Amino acid sequence: MKFEDFISGTWKQQFQYKSFLPTPINQEWCWNDPRINVLLENATRALGELNAFTMIVPDVDLFIHMHIIKEANTSS
């Protein structure tokens, strides 16, 4: 499937509400825009940096929990 032609999903009218039905994404992708390659490389590099950071921090769950508490205190 061409990346540029992808539609993320459709809205479907249910009984008294509308629901969003996402399109399955497990298919082969192709694209013609070379800028997408650069974006994918940047995303891969960022994931690698995040992975390296999780190896440095001894307890990632505790680290995330502390940031959740800090954000809750900041926003209230």
The residues pairing with 19 across neighbouring beta strands, listed in sequence order, are: 12
Q: Which residues of 15-48 are buried (b: 16+ CB within 10 A; e: fewer)?
A: eeeeeeeeeeeeeeeeeeeeeeeeeeeeeeeeee
The span from the CA of 13 to the CA of 48, in Å, is 41
The span from the CA of 50 to the CA of 31, in Å, is 27
pLDDT digits (tens, 9 = 90+) for 27-65: 888 888 889 999 999 999 999 998 888 788 788 788 889
What predicted TM-score, i.e. pTM, was given to this entire model?
0.51
pLDDT at residue 5 above 90?
A: no
